[in-house]
Amino acid sequence: MTTTAISDPFSEAALSRVEEQLAGTDSLLANAYPGDTADRQPVHTVYVAAHLLTADTVAEWGRAALAAVDGVGGLERLAGHLGEELGLDADADLDPAVLARLVEAKLASEPIEDLRVDFEDGLGAVSDAEEDAAVASSLAAIAAMRERGALPPHVGLRFKCFENDTRARGIRTLGLFIAGLAEQEGGLPEGLEITLPKVTTVEQVEAMVYLCEQLEERLGLPAGRLRFEVQVETPQVVIDAEGRVPLARLIHAGGGRVSSLHYGTYDYSASLGVAGGYQSMEHPVADFAKSFIQVAAAGTGVRYSDGSTNIVPAGDGLQRLDAWALHARLVRRSLERAIYQGWDLHAHQLPTRYLASFAFFRTGLSSTITRLDNYLGGKDSAVMDEPATARALAAFLVRGVNCGAVPEQELSERIDVSPDAIRALAYPNRSTKE
């Protein structure tokens, strides 16, 4: 039996129909799922009560962190003590001395990557006059830090939530704070962050979008300049009364203004009836919520953050070591689950934030570089990486460089690809401000 060769299996009309059918899908993927951004994501957020913020707060946190580890023999000794929690036992090439030296430099030069001035839980219920005074004093502290060149890469505020009894006060603080920043020399900081807490509905996000639009118009800011984080602290924002997932809907209802989703450990756990002694970043209810956060944010360019542990390294030496071990393990646990940011509540948590983060990005650094080099060079390898995995390998290196775990000069010496080329591979569809 003979067959007739068909040069074009489908007619032009058939192909045109498919194009028409998928035009909406193409638009959705391009606009709603643009991919991750290459802009630097901080490894943590530090919340400081608005009335306690001073021009010296950031530097004081760095000094307090270094002084705390001096009490146990220094960073290298602490790293050795926390070997298992930091993953040092899994990589013989990871030298505690190198790790300690990098973290010491970080704590001296940039102890806080993301500073959030807290007018919510940190400030508490105060009079309007007292909150207005806290706005003024915190703005003055930020102005002084800017003048000294000591402002963290990311800075902003968390204001009171949109629930009925705090809504008006929160909106007033938001307006005063943003207007005050805009009036400072240099205008709004490049790394401005705004945190909207205790979100329960998509409508609250839509209201926040409207307020951002109003502020931009009144202050003469470019459209879209103001973006905000959503704190995931209530079960209603994970699954609503109709069985829907508001987390996914609110990202797109934000019209490109939702920058991040932050998990709130204690409010969320308490809302589900978890007893105080069992509230934790690793409780099953936490992992359930964070799985929804990750899936909702995937491909949107919206980032996400883990919460905090309220067990801080204070008190006697043994208590500090136990708390550091817990914090280091929890930070690494989040990183292994692709959650690259968390909250720190105390200056003494900074050593383990950076020890755990730096160890994570240096653990297996050699194997990551080898795999990426083999992929880019088309070399035979025991691991056959696909393009998606190659992008993940590149993104791992970019994050390591951004936080200081992997000096850019070191990376350049170890792989025959420029840092810019690695960033382009990691984030092919997004530009970077860095």
pLDDT of residue 434: 41
Reported confidence tier of residue 433, pLDDT bands at 50, 70, 90: very low
Which pair of structure tokens corresponds to residue 204?
């609250």
State how far the Cα of 40 lies from the Cα of 113, in Å rounded to an integer.
10
pLDDT in tens, 173-182: 999 999 999 9
5 pLDDT exceeds 80? no
Q: What average pLDDT does this structure show over 150-155?
A: 97
pLDDT of residue 319: 87
pLDDT in tens, 365-379: 888 998 888 888 777
317 pLDDT exceeds 90? no
Q: What average pLDDT does this structure show over 121-131?
A: 94
pLDDT of residue 432: 46
Phi, psi (5° rounding) for residue 430? -130, 145
294 pLDDT exceeds 70? yes
Q: What average pLDDT does this structure show over 338-344?
A: 97
Helices assigned H by DSSP within 118-264: 128-148, 167-183, 202-219, 246-253
pLDDT of residue 281: 96
Give the number of C-alpha atoms closer than 13 A to the C-alpha of residue 327, restricted to the C-beta side: 31
State how far the Cα of 214 lies from the Cα of 231, in Å rounded to an integer.
22
Q: What average pLDDT does this structure show over 251-265?
A: 96
Mean of all residue pLDDT scores within the chain: 93
Total-model pTM? 0.93
**Angle (nearest 5°) at CA 62 between 59 and 66:** 140
What is the full DSSP assignment across 31-61? HH------SPPPSEEEEEEGGG--TTHHHHH
What order do you get walking across the sheet with 303-305 strand by strand? Answer: 303-305, 258-263, 228-232, 192-196, 154-158, 114-118, 44-49, 342-344
Phi, psi (5° rounding) for residue 99? -60, -45
Q: What average pLDDT does this structure show over 201-218?
A: 98
pLDDT of residue 279: 96
Which pair of structure tokens corresponds to residue 344?
């720190």
Q: Please, what is the angle between helix 96-109 and helix 57-70, to 10°?
A: 150
Can you identify the CATH homologous superfamily of domain 44-361? Malate synthase, domain 3 (3.20.20.360)
pLDDT of residue 382: 59
28 pLDDT exceeds 50? yes
Instruction: Return the domain boundaries, the chain.
Output: 44-361, 365-426
Q: What average pLDDT does this structure show over 294-303?
A: 96
